Structure 1
Amino acid sequence: MSTRPLLARSATAVATAVAVVGLLSPASATATTVEGYSADVQRDAVASLVAESGLSESAAVQLLRTQATSVETLHRVTAGLGTRAVDGYLDAAAKPVVNVLDQAAADQVSAAGAHARLVKHSGAALASAQSALQALPAVAHTSIGLDPKTNQVVLTVADAARGTDALLTAASALGDRVRVERVAGEMHTAIYNGEAITGGGTRCSVGFNTNRGGVNYIVDAGHCTRAVSTWNVGPSQGSSFPGNDYGLIRNNTGSAPGAVTLWNGSTQRISSAGTATVGQRISKSGSTTHLTSGSVTRTNVTVNYAEGSVSQLIQTNALVNPGDSGGCLFAGSVGLGITSGKGTGTSFFQPVGEALGAYGVSLN
C-alpha cells in the first residue's frame, strides 16, 4: 500500500463491527445535518441507529444532534456536584442522566437541565470495590469496569479465563456493588500480520496524526509500538504498555492530515479530543473493518490481556478485528480513543487525551 493512502487514514480507527443495515436516503442526508459530522459518517451512524433501535432516519439525526449538547451538560453537571454525583450516562434518547446520592443533589441536577437518578452506591464505594478486585493477581481474559446504568462494578469473565476462584470469591464478598458477567471466547490485543502500517511482520492501523515543535507524529497503540521499532511510515518513539496502551511513531512521510479515512475516498475531520460517555454513539475506522458505528457501554475499564493489564479503557459494543489496533474512536469531529483490543461482542480503547498529554503532542 502506498504512503499517501496510509496517512489519509490519520485518525484511522478502531476496529469494531456493529452491523449496519439500511442507508440514509439522499433526501434526508441533505435536508438535515449533524454539526461536526461528515456526510458519510452521519450516514453510517444514522443507518446503525435505524437498524438497532428502529428509529426513523429523522429521529436518528435528531438523536445525534442532541448527543453533543447532552455530553457537555453531563460533564458540566457532574463536575459541579463533585462527590455528590456518581458518574452519569446518556439514555436511549441521548439525554443526560446523572446518578446522585440525595434529593438535594437531584434537585440541582434537574435545575441544570439533566435527569437525576437516585442510586445506592457512592463513587467511593464503587471505587473501593473496583480497587479490591484489581488488587488481586490479574487473571487473563477478564475485565473490571464501571456500569453507571446499574450503579455497579462489572467483573467480566471470558471462557478462556483460568484460575478465577479467588476473583469470583472476592466479587461475591462485595455484594451488590459488583455484578459478574460471563462471555464466550477470550480478550486479546488486536495485532495481525498484513498490510496498513507495517513493520517486523506486524500490521496495525494508523492512529491520530499529531505534531510537536513542527515535527509530525502518529499516536498509536502501545502494544503496536512496543512490538515494532520501525514502521513503513517511521520509527517508534515510545510505548506505554501494559498499564496503558498508547505509543508514538515519528511520521517521516511528509503527509499528516488531521482526518479519518472513510474508505470511500472521503474523510472525517478530527478537530478536538474529548472524553467518552456511556451511551454515546461513536464511529471508528480501521484497516480491517473500515467505518462502522456503535455506542460506549462502559468506562474506566481494566482489561487483563495475556500480555498484561491495561486500565482506564473505554468499552464499546462494536467488535474489533485483527489489524485495527491503534486506530481511533471518534464522535463526529471529536477524537475519543485508540484501539486497544477486543473481547466477544466488546472492544476496548485507550482514551486519546491521556496519550496526547503524555507525549506533549497536539492534534493536526
Structure 2
Amino acid sequence: MTFAFSGRGFPAGQEKFKSRIAYAAAPVTADQRAENIPGAPAALDWDATLRFRHHLWSHGFGVAEAMDTAQRGAGLDYPATRELIRRSAAEARSAGGRIVAGVGTDQLPPGAASIDDIRKAYAEQLHDVQEAGAQPVIMCSRHLAATAADADDYRRVYGELLALADGPVLLHWLGEAFDPALAGYWGGDDVVLEIIAAHAAKVDGIKLSLLDADREIAMRRRLPSGVRMYTGDDFHYPALIKGDDLGHSEALLGVLAVIAAPAAAALRALDAGDLGTYDQIMDATLPLARHLFAAPTYHYKTGIVFLNWLAGHQDHLVMVGGAQAGRSPSHLRTLMRLADDAGILPDADLATARARAWLTTVGLD
C-alpha cells in the first residue's frame, strides 16, 4: 500500500470554547533511552510530554492529566504519576490552561486491599492533586472493585473522599471495555447517582466512559441541577457533545489527544451556531476514533502514541511498559489512512517519511 498523505490540517486557535467544556486526556512520551519494559519503573521524556500539553492548550482544550490515556494502571507507576501531575499543573499555570488530574489507588500493590487502605490511598492522591493545583478527577479503583462487598462500601468510600475535597471534583466511571478489572463497579447506575445527589455541592460532574450513548443520555437527564455530564464515549462523542433539546454532554476524551485540531475547529463552529460545519468536521473523525478504540479497547493508547509520532509530536514509538506492542501492524496501517482522512497529519512530508520507514520495518512496504 502506497501512502500519499494530504497534509490537510487546522490552525490553532487558543481561545477557550464558549458553549462546551472540553478536556483532552493526554498520553505520555517515554524516554526511549531508558528501560521502559514491562514491569520496569516508568521513565518519561519530560520535555516531549509537557510540550504536548502545550499543543492541547494551544487549541483551546483543557488537559485531563494522569488518566488511563497516560497509561495509569498500564505502565505508569505512581511516583511517575505524581511527578507528572506536579509538572503539568505548573505548566498549566504558566500557560493559563485548564487542568484536571486523576486520583486513584494505584500506589497500593496489586491484589487484595482493605477498605481502610483504599480510603487512605485515595486520600493521599487527593492531597497530591490538590497540592499541585489541579482539579481532582476521582477515578475508579481496581482495589475497590475487587474488595467492595456491596454498594454501601462505594457509598462510604466516596462519601468520605468527597468530604475531604477542597472543592468540586469530577467522578470518573471507566467501563469494562477500557479496564476489565472494573466490571460491576458501583453496583449500578442508581448507586452512583445516589452518591452524586448526596454530595452534589462537591461534584462538578461525572465522566462516563461506558461506550453506551443511550445510557449516558439517560443518566445525564437524571443528574442534579448544576452537575455536568462529561462524555468519555469515544464512539459517539459528536452527537453527545452536540446534545438535544434536553441537554448536552461536556467532553473529557482520549480521542481528543489526536483529533485536537479538527475537534477545536468543530467546537468553535458549535459556538457560532454553525451545526453543519460542526457535523461535517466531527463526523470525519468518527471512523478514526472507532478504529482507534476497537476491541481490545484498552490498547487504544498504542494507537494514540503512533498517530502522535506520525504527526510529529514525538520522535519515536517507545512507550512505558513496552505498550507499543499493543496493536498489530495491520491495525496501525489502517489507522494511518483514517488519520489522513480526518485531517490530523498537517506535515505530509514528515508523515510520509515516517510511514514509509515504519512500513519497511514491519514488512508491509
TM-score band, normalised by the shorter chain?
under 0.3
Between structures 1 and 2, the one with greater helix share:
2
Q: TM (normalized to structure 2)?
A: 0.26
Between structures 1 and 2, the one with greater strand share:
1
Q: TM (normalized to structure 1)?
A: 0.26
